[in-house]
Structure 1
Amino acid sequence: MNRLLILGTAIAALFAAPAFAQAPTTILNASYDVARELFAAENEAFVKQHPGVTVDQSHAGTSKQARSIVEGLEADVVTFNQVTDVNFLVKQGFVSEDWQKDFANDASPFYSFPSFLVRAGNPKNIKDWSDLARDDVHAVFPNPKTSGNARYTYLAAYAWANEAYNGDTEKIEAYITKIFDNVPVFDTGGRAATTTFVEREIGDVLITFEAETRGIVKQYGADKVEGVTPSVSLLAEFPVAIVDKVADKRGSRELAKSYLDFLYTEEGQRIAAEFGHRVQNEKVAAEFKDKFPEIRLVNVDDVFGGWDKIQEEHFTSGGTLDKLYGSR
């Protein structure tokens, strides 16, 4: 009788075990605004290798995404376009301080840079950053206060001006202010800016990541828009990280890591390259070399002294961006 009682108690306890005792098969990836098609393809390929797994997506400007996670969005991983937004999550206790050591290339599986998209035939003859300050050129890009995409545009333009004006702060800031004055509408994210330029036909040039310009030409046709590669631009790394606070709570760390690891595999890298991103894998990069024009890229460390300094001088409240952007 005692043995039966013990056995019955054990069985009852087994069936009463909480659901979270088993690792989840679903994770959420919070990503940047213009990466919808890229991660739809990456997710499909990943799930084929992991039957029964689901990867859900959330897309918005990465600064907005980071704030949403702090406010309760339970994203297991982030695939952002700006290091500062991951570091924001670090300061809020959601991501570990050494997150860039968790994956190769400082946790950046692929990269791009701010580039131009113009009307077919390039009627305004827009070739480089200097053209964005012309009176007859209206540039379209999202609000740099809400979009990592736009912050890269701001930094790339600033880096070009820094060279062009030999570090003369007054001339650099006058140039940036002129570009801001020439923007007809500031959307909150990169995809909305694309819609403004391509579908609403507002503006003369869209500034966004090269990967996005290539995708737009493919989608809408070279008879409507064409890409222009400037003489120099700013290296835009796309950082990835496990959201430790969420993954540990949900028990999803193993699945989250497998997902981010997949982005570094040949298959994951090839998908990224097909969607216009420049990749870290040497074999895949060689396969796509002829499809990407050469460009001189500068980085935030050399031009600005690193992301921490950028945050302190440019993006903090009352910083250079606030000063130049004003009340727009």
Structure 2
Amino acid sequence: MRISWINIGAVASIAVAAALLITRNGEGHAAHYLLNVSYDPTRELYQSINPRFVENYEKQTGSSVAITQSHAGSSYQARRVSSGELKADVVTLGLPSDVEALHNKGMIADGWEKRLPHDSRPYNSTIVFVVRKGNPHAIHDWPDLIKEGVEIIVPDPKTSGNGKLAALAAWGAVVTRGGSESEAKAFLKELYAHTPFLDPAARSTGVAFAIEKKGDVHLAWENEALRETKDSKGALEIVYPPVSIRAEPSVAWVDSNVEKHGSAPLARAYLEFLFTDEGQEIIAREGYRPQNQQILEKHADRLPKINLFSITAIAQDWSDAQRRFFADNGIIDAVYAPKPRSD
């Protein structure tokens, strides 16, 4: 069997761009289809995961599979699934609260977190800094971001998981080190004052920084930072701040859709593959922190030990953080305004 990748289209507007990718068997037909709706930076991860899963599944069942990927800002993707625009069989989103939003709509069953290992979180990540060669602005810690003359490239916190996590990491960098919430709020307001624009998703933001050479520092998912610096051939560097947030991307099958599609066993098998040793190894190679600690340690040269605080350091849980920070009239609305690009 030969598996090939085909770009089957893009959903684009001024506000957001989303890519759809499909993998099929060599004949161009499959007995079963699966739509994985994911967040923006996971294109390469699932391009690596999908062929291995398909090969294993077809060996075990004798049944062919085609998997389609959809990518955009995590919260935006959750809204598209909720509205029915995307008929996701599985969601692999950047924040537990984005999956919980679908549970609250009755699309995902109660107790979804406990249906898979590690509360349905196959990998962790965090927010780090990407700077230009030589780190000309000497950016090493969160307060350095608001030095005079520094331009910060970061996605919009209302649409992007990267944007939300960057905001939470910045807030936590203040309060977990003894600062008050009023100081954290002032810091966030100043941080957004240093942003020339706020793109809706992580990947377009990374392109603006790495390819278009806009700004001085990019607040990025760790896997995106690793990819950007590798592709830059020395023009960019990663800075690990002294403290950042533990990001916990979460996965689930969408019960209301798999029932209609008859895809529940396939959807479950697909997500369970993420927790296998093979899946965890691919996850580590693609720059995410696998739950398997032995595999994580094998990749310690690229995924070093870092000081991460959990969401409970700044909120009751991810859902509470969503309400407190990102709901209408929440903390973020008080410190930022949308900034579309002017060019």
Report the alpha carbon displacement of residue 314 of structure 1 after superposing the two structures with TM.
1.2
Report the alpha carbon displacement of residue 70 of structure 1 after superposing the two structures with TM.
1.7
Q: Which position in structure 2 is the counterpart of 1:13?
A: none
TM-score by length of 1: 0.90
Which structure ranks higher in relative contact order (CA pairs < 8 Å, sequence separation ≥ 6)?
A: 1
Q: Which position in structure 2 is the counterpart of 1:303?
A: 314
1:259 aligns with 2:259: no
Q: Is contact 1:24-1:250 (8 Å) kept?
A: no
The CA distance in 1 between the partners of 2:82 and 2:304, in whole Å, is 39
The CA distance in 2 between the partners of 1:233 and 1:169, in whole Å, is 17
Spell out the pairing of 1:92-241 with structure 2 (5 A cutoff). 92-164=105-177, 166-221=178-233, 223-241=234-252
Q: Is contact 1:24-1:251 (8 Å) kept?
A: no
2:67 to 33, 41, 55: 55
The CA distance in 1 between the partners of 2:168 and 2:255, in whole Å, is 30
Q: Which position in structure 2 is the counterpart of 1:90?
A: 103
Gaps of 5+ in 2: 1-29, 59-63
Gaps of 5+ in 1: 1-22
TM-score by length of 2: 0.86
Q: Is contact 2:157-2:326 (8 Å) kept?
A: no
Residue by residue over 1:25-83, the C-alpha shift from the partner in whole angstroms, topping out at 9 and shown as x without a partner, is 11000000011111100011111112321111000111111111122211100001101
* Amino acid aligned to 2:50: N
User: Is the deviation greater in 129-138 or in 239-248?
Assistant: 129-138
The CA distance in 2 between the partners of 1:175 and 1:115, in whole Å, is 17
* Amino acid aligned to 1:170: S
**CA RMSD, Structure 1 to Structure 2 (Å):** 1.4
Q: Is contact 1:229-1:293 (8 Å) kept?
A: no
Larger proportion of strand: 2
SS in 1 for 2:94: coil
The CA distance in 1 between the partners of 2:176 and 2:99, in whole Å, is 29
Residue by residue over 1:71-96, the C-alpha shift from the partner in whole angstroms, topping out at 9 and shown as x without a partner, is 22111000011011111101111111
SS in 1 for 2:314: helix
* Amino acid aligned to 1:71: S
The CA distance in 2 between the partners of 1:224 and 1:290, in whole Å, is 20
1:65 aligns with 2:65: no
Report the alpha carbon displacement of residue 208 of structure 1 after superposing the two structures with TM.
1.0
1:79 aligns with 2:92: yes
Q: Which position in structure 1 is the counterpart of 2:34?
A: 27
The CA distance in 1 between the partners of 2:131 and 2:313, in whole Å, is 29
The CA distance in 2 between the partners of 1:161 and 1:283, in whole Å, is 32
Q: Is contact 1:62-1:80 (8 Å) kept?
A: yes
Q: Is contact 2:100-2:319 (8 Å) kept?
A: no
Length, aligned pairs only: 304
Report the alpha carbon displacement of residue 327 of structure 1 after superposing the two structures with TM.
5.2
Larger proportion of helix: 1
Report the alpha carbon displacement of residue 219 of structure 1 after superposing the two structures with TM.
2.1
The CA distance in 2 between the partners of 1:99 and 1:41, in whole Å, is 25
Q: Which position in structure 2 is the counterpart of 1:284?
A: 295
The CA distance in 2 between the partners of 1:199 and 1:311, in whole Å, is 31
Q: Which position in structure 2 is the counterpart of 1:4?
A: none
Report the alpha carbon displacement of residue 294 of structure 1 after superposing the two structures with TM.
2.1
Residue by residue over 1:80-136, the C-alpha shift from the partner in whole angstroms, topping out at 9 and shown as x without a partner, is 110111111011111112110011111000111000111111111111111111122
Q: Residues 291 and 327 from structure 1, CA distance in 2 versus in 1: closer, same or farther, beyond 3 angstroms?
A: closer
Residue by residue over 1:190-215, the C-alpha shift from the partner in whole angstroms, topping out at 9 and shown as x without a partner, is 00000110111000010111111011
